[in-house]
Structure 1
Amino acid sequence: MSGRTPARACPERTCVGCRERAAKDDLLRIVAVEGECVPDHRGTLPGRGAYVHPALVCLDLAVRRRAFPRALRAQGPLDTEALRQAVEKTVAEKATP
């Protein structure tokens, strides 16, 4: 036997809001496009990405800490309004059974 386990390791990322590690599938990838933070649901947009829990608490912490410009290595502030709307939509979809 080679000592390998049959299960594959799940990639982990750190939320830029709460700074907790979580499975990559549980987090929302964010990419900077033309000075705006855009959610990347499929994970295929080009460029550097940052990860955040799809919760308003983590989003607010990340905005307050100015984590997005730092994590995405962007110059100046980034607009997060479209990102906030996407997270609110995700929260609303999870709340309705």
Structure 2
Amino acid sequence: MAAGPFRLCVGCRTSQPKKGLIRVYSVADGRLGVDLGGGVGRGAYVCPRRVCLEQAVKRGELARCLKVTRTPVTAMALEELIRDGVLRKVAALLGLARRARKVASGAEAVDSAVKRHSARLILSAIDASASSVEKLRNVAVQAGITWVQGMGKEALGAALGTAPRTCVAVTDPFFAGAIISALDKIPVEKEAGEAAWSDRRVGSGAEPRKAWR
């Protein structure tokens, strides 16, 4: 299957599939915006790696590509902008999945979804207890289900319109894949060409990686 169009990362200066990059653009008031879906119009593309963000800002590549006199943002601020965008997108996807009845929330419901072989992705809250996290991680490993930590209990509950949740199972492969793709955009420390994963992930042949907060 074709990887789709390629774009040049302004940080590492390597050509990468557009769908795996983050598009940075200038908005009307002079601030920067980020597009996780690779929108249209003038923009600068960067890999979801901290070193690429740092290089792009340090060398002034964003300002040059966007044709603005200056880019009033630091690499840390740009990373936070990306992180916020990712979390909003994941929350929106979880909301859509809930309305489509494609999620199970709470420990008992998640356990039931796993036993029915309907779970495609398990999300554990980053502030869940260590024992709860370890239990779900082991369940995911044994069942071959992708497991990841990505949001807090309050955020998970808010996305589903419920009280705080320690875990959620996504039962639809489309929603699961879209959530994973969004989480891939959180900048992390990794070498160029390494598979983009920004959180602890196991199952489906994946190895655990560093969790983000």
1:63 aligned to 2:167?
no
TM-superposed CA distance for 1:82, in Å, is 4.3
* Cα contact 1:56–1:87 (8 A) shared by 2: no
Higher normalized helix content (fraction of residues): 2
Code of the residue aligned with 1:83 in structure 2: it is: L
Code of the residue aligned with 1:49 in structure 2: it is: G
Structure 2 CA distance for aligned equivalents of residues 63 and 39 of structure 1: 14
Q: Secondary structure at the match of 1:39?
A: strand
Q: Secondary structure at the match of 1:51?
A: strand
Question: Which whole-Å deviations, capped at 9, do the CAs of 1:55-97 have from their partners, x for residues lacking one?
Answer: 1110000011011110001122332454221445714772222
* Cα contact 2:21–2:38 (8 A) shared by 1: no
Structure 1 CA distance for aligned equivalents of residues 31 and 60 of structure 2: 13
* Cα contact 1:38–1:82 (8 A) shared by 2: no
1:79 aligned to 2:183?
no
Alignment of 1:1-97 (within 5 A): 10-33=4-27, 34-44=29-39, 47-80=41-74, 82-87=77-82, 90-91=186-187, 94-97=198-201
TM-score (norm 2): 0.37
Code of the residue aligned with 1:38 in structure 2: it is: G
Q: CA RMSD in A?
A: 2.5
* Cα contact 2:24–2:33 (8 A) shared by 1: yes
Larger radius of gyration: 2
* Cα contact 1:29–1:40 (8 A) shared by 2: yes
Higher relative contact order (CA 8 A, sep 6+): 1
Please list every run of at least 4 consecutive aligned residues from structure 1 whose deviation after the TM superposition is greater than 3 angstroms: 86-89
Which ranges in structure 1 are unaligned for 5 or more consecutive residues?
A: 1-6
- Number of matched pairs: 90
* Cα contact 1:55–1:87 (8 A) shared by 2: no
